[in-house]
Structure 1
Amino acid sequence: MLRKLSLALAVSCASNGMAWAAEAPLSNKTDLVSVYQEAVDNNADLAAARAQYGAQKEVVPQARAGLLPNLSAGADLNNTRTELDQPAMTATRSSTVYQATLSQPIFRADRWFQLQAAKSVNEQASLQLSATEQNLILQSAEAYFNVLRSQDNLASTKAEEAAFKRQLDQSNERFDVGLSDKTDVLQSQASYDTARANRIIAQRQVEDAFEALITLTNRQYNSIQGVVHTLPILPPAPNDAKAWVDTAAKQNLNLLASNYAVDAAEDTLRQRKAGHAPTLDAIAQYRKGDNDGLGFTNPSPTGQRYGGDAEQRTIGLQLSIPIYSGGLTSSQVRESYSQLTQTEQQREGLRRQVVENTRNLHRAVNTDVEQVQARRQSIISNQSAVDATEIGYQVGTRNIVDVLDAQRQLYTSVRDYNNARYDYILDNLRLKQAAGTLSPEDLQALSRYLKPDYNPDKDFLPPDLAQAAAEQLRSRPTQ
């Protein structure tokens, strides 16, 4: 009699006889929060973003310097040789002058608006860094769950290969005793070969997923903790797309950064317009040197020339009124108008994109909830279909192609179920990122549903599905 191959049996064959790699010790399994912490400490993109912010925030002290006093000191050392033809005479004169100049801007509208623009740029850079840090939370989760997704996919593929291998063995046994023809053997062999090829690809995908995790954190991992099947699959709270969009409009970090980009462009425009305004500076200067260097050429009141050192002290106001600079200022104003328009349109485009993403992700999470439930039931139904088809094959009402197709549909539904689970987890995190509320606490909450002794070859399916399939099969009348 043909032995019926249940899903539980296939899982057992895959986990015992076709293990992809030896299970790492329990203590070596890494959890989600640990991966995130390693990413924070070692991620190259985050380190580059922090360095970029360190450079960008210097625009504020640089702009402020234009409104603060400026003190400079220097010295002039000159040697002048004069030759006269009539009468023939040569004179050489040396002079040394030391000076210090203090300048304090009193009215510099352009520099004031430049400082305001710099402050907006600094706030924009700070928010962009925060957005990068927040995105690392999502990147860590994506890399982590992509490993789990690929491991579960490999486990189901190995179980499928084991199922087709056993089906091939049974077809050979039936052919040897004359219960089936060569066609059944060839069909089983083709299905087994395809499943084996798929298993090889799935094995490579696991390795690729681990490589992505290593790239993110610069750390090696033997194995990671998996998600239990009791993870609550719930709609987003609140389950109102408008509420999520309103939150995103107020808290999305990239959108908030774009607001400061517009503020910076507006202040830059004011700075350019201020190029038409006069400037006023207070100047204080001190000079000391010999009289030739200071320009003392008149004799003293006694009729004698003074040949010693002299000092000059100057205090005054310096007013500058721009009249014409070749059209430079007007051109810069027009340039800033265009740049402001560009920045405003970029902000509007980003706002629309944030609204679209938030609504789409809200729908995605709700769809994922239904998908997980439907895919779970699909496994039960397909398992029942496999059992019924194998019974029909035994009594001659079904052929080997029907059996193979039923098994293929079963393992497709298994992969669809696991994909739906991980899509639900990641779409939830993406929705929170779009709304600007994603934080490390969300990873902490997910960690409560991680299984330290997770074994993909055994745990890629809920443990109660085989029993549910058997009950469903018994509850239906046989044809």
Structure 2
Amino acid sequence: MLRRALTGSAMGLALIAMPMAATAENLGQALADAYNNSGLLEKNRAVLKAADEDGAQALARLRPVLSWSAGLSHSYGRTDTGRPPSVVTESNGASATLTMSLLLFDFGATRLSLDVAKETVLLTRQQLVSIEQQILLRAVTAYMEVRRATENVSLRQANVGLLTQELRASRDRFDVGEVTRTDVSQAEAALAASRSGLTSANGALIQARLEYEAAVGHTPGTLAPPSRLGSVPDSEQAAIAIALQNHPSMNVARRQVTIAELQIAATDASLKPSLNLSGSYGLESDLDSEAHGRKGSVSLGLSGPIYSGGALASQQRQAMLNKEQTLANLHVVSQDIRQAVGNGFSGVRIAQAATIAGNEQVSAAKVAFEGVREEATLGSRTTLDVLTQEQSLLDARTTYLSAQVDEVLARYELLSAMGLLTAQDLKLNVDIYDPAAYYNMVKNAPIGISKQGRQLDSVLRRIGKN
């Protein structure tokens, strides 16, 4: 039912639209351009890459840390014995040391921080999907508003032309004494109001074109009737089930619960001791002589908290409260999504009914206008009657146009509420961004001098140039 009605809406728009050029831009192309040109998407993709690096840094804390140090020293001393000469000592030295440390065991605290980082990456991916939906919905809205404004200008122009004819006819009839000066003045006033409405419609079109440029990335040309992208189920409950499973806000809320649970475990682990291995190897040389030496050490260290002023206990309680907060938020988000889907279905049904009623209203108003105008030529209707019926016809056509546009927008708002307004779900002709690509490059925490590290550096340099 929804699909048949929405298809009919698109056909209705085509019927009242202005003639379309062979190269008219369609809705799919506009959405693809919005996807490719969005600076907001690029910004949030960089945010995701930064979260990927948090995972690499968490993994690095499980690996050995090797560092070096080197130094030159100069020491000077003078001892005064109370009688000359004083004793003066002076020496110069150099040293170099390699130090290694490795976490052997900490009851999983560091491993849990890695798990938190991975969950944060998955959460950030869902936030990126949410941004993508916002961008595509804005593009759909901008596309349809340009069409609404364009076709409204066309209706207003036709109305001005018709009222110009009516004024000319009224003046001709006044010249032969068929109507009074009042009838001519009424026609003049109606034409002035129509021209004012046309000016307002042109202003709305300018604003709609500016919004289109901001949303899509270029100025609109001739826009084709909207194609039907994506699909919606036939029942509200099915749509709600899809939304609860796929909507990015739900997935973000679920990840937040998982992260809160991991943070509770990490806080518990921080109360336990950790075992560390450390070692060092160094060279020392006396620059004033040929004396030199080597030294090294290996040690195991066990450490843990005893008393922290209550900070650790507070952190445990805080972690538990954060989990309660995320669980409550999950419930709130699910209710919001249910409501949004319900509103979306209701909006589609209302728009469908408005479209059907608008079509019938236009047909009736057209018949009434033609009848009143014919009766006016026979002298049984006044000029005011004709002008009033002409305004009714214009209002009916404008209402019908808006109903069709609103029906298309309602469909895409429903897709957004279900979490299906994405480039992949709409099958847009774009290179779909792979959110896992960068993560797969950095998940093993490659060092800068490795082959993979150099590849990453090359990728980031290209991003910076772009």
User: How high is the TM-score relative to the length of structure 1?
Assistant: 0.77
**Distance of 2:387 and 2:411 partners within structure 1:** 36
Q: Does 1:31 align with 2:26?
A: yes
Equivalent-residue separation in structure 1 for 2:294 and 2:70 (angstroms): 14
1:272 aligns with 2:272: no
CA distance in 2 between counterparts of 1:439 and 1:122 reads 19
C-alpha distance in 2 between matches for 1:218 and 1:245: 33
Tell me how far 1:237 sits from its aligned partner.
5.1
Distance 1:203 1:55, change over 3 A: same
Q: Which one has a bigger Cα radius of gyration?
A: 1
C-alpha change, 1:116 and 1:212, in structure 2 (3 Å) is same
Task: Flag the 1:424–1:329 CA change in 2: closer, same or farther, 3 A.
Answer: same
How much has 1:227 moved relative to structure 2? 4.8
CA distance in 1, matches of 2:368, 2:424: 43
Preserved contact between residue 232 and residue 239 of structure 2 (Cα < 8 Å): no
Counterpart of 2:282 in 1: which secondary structure? strand
The answer for the alignment partner of 2:401 in structure 1 is: 418
Paired with 2:332 and 2:388, the residues of 1 have a C-alpha distance of 48
Superposition deviation, residue 153 in structure 1: 1.0
Tell me the CA shift for residue 395 of structure 1: 4.0
CA–CA separation in structure 2 for the residues paired with 1:340 and 1:153 = 53
Question: Paired residue for 1:102, among 85, 100, 103?
Answer: 100
One-letter identity of the residue aligned with 1:38: D
Q: How much does 1:340 deviate? A: 3.7
Separation in 2 of the partners of 1:332 and 1:82?
Answer: 52
Q: What displacement does 1:377 show? A: 0.7
Equivalent in 366, 391, 404 of residue 383 of structure 1: 366
8 Å CA contact 1:244, 1:435 repeated in 2: yes
Question: Which residue of 285, 289, 293 maps to 2:284?
Answer: 289
Pair 1:182-2:181 in alignment: yes
Q: What one-letter code is carried by the residue in structure 2 that aligns with 1:215? A: A
**Is structure 2 residue 270 aligned with structure 1 residue 247?**
no
CA separation in 2, counterparts of 1:223 and 1:406?
32
Give SS of 1:219's match: coil
Partner of 2:67, secondary structure, is strand
- 2:47 is aligned to 52
CA apart distance, 1:268: 2.8
- Asked if structure 2 preserves the Cα contact closer than 8 Å seen for 1:32 and 1:443, the reply is no
Residue type matched to 1:354 in 2?
Answer: I
Asked whether the equivalents of residues 24 and 222 of structure 1 are also in contact (C-alpha less than 8 Å), the reply is no
In 2, Cα distance between equivalents of 1:92 and 1:438: 77
- Check whether the contact 2:98–2:281 (CA below 8 A) recurs between aligned residues: yes
Aligned to 1:427: 410
Assess, with a 3 A threshold, how the Cα gap between structure 1 residues 244 and 24 changes in structure 2: closer, same or farther.
closer
Structure 1 stretch displaced more, 219-228 or 261-270 = 219-228
Equivalenced residue count is: 408
Give the corresponding residue for 2:200: 201
Provide the rounded CA distance (Å) in 2 between the counterparts of 1:242 and 1:277: 49
Letter in 2 for 1:192: L
Secondary structure of the structure 1 residue equivalent to 2:61: helix
Q: Give 1:196 shift.
A: 0.5
What letter is aligned with 1:94?
Answer: N
State the Cα distance separating 1:193 from its structure 2 match: 0.8
Matches within 5 A, 1:145-224: 145-224=144-223
What is the rounded CA distance, in whole Å, between the counterparts of 2:392 and 2:147 in structure 1? 22
Aligned to 2:66, the other structure's residue is in SS state strand
Task: Provide closer, same or farther for how the CA distance between residues 331 and 237 of structure 1 changes in structure 2, counting only shifts above 3 A.
Answer: closer
Q: Where in structure 2 are the equivalents of 1:71-470 lying within 5 Å?
A: 71-86=66-81, 88-108=86-106, 109-227=108-226, 238-290=233-285, 308-440=291-423
Deviation at 1:337, TM superposition (A): 4.0
Q: Distance in 1 between the 2:317 and 2:190 partners?
A: 70
- Consecutive unaligned residues in structure 2, runs of 5 or more: 1-15, 429-466
In structure 2, the residue matched to 1:461 is none
CA distance in 2, matches of 1:417, 1:277: 70
Do the aligned partners of 2:91 and 2:286 also contact (CA within 8 Å) in 1?
no
Distance 2:162 2:316 in 1: 74
User: Cα offset for 1:355?
Assistant: 1.1
Give a deviation string over 1:149-208, Cα, whole Å, max 9, x none: 111111111122222222222222222221222221222211111110110111122222
Structure 2: distance between partners of 1:262 and 1:81: 63
> How far did residue 380 of structure 1 move?
0.3
Identical-pair percentage: 23
Between 1:307-316 and 1:408-417, the stretch displaced more is: 307-316
Task: Compute the TM-score of the two structures, normalised by the length of structure 2.
Answer: 0.79
SS in 2 for 1:57: helix
SS at 1:117 equivalent: helix
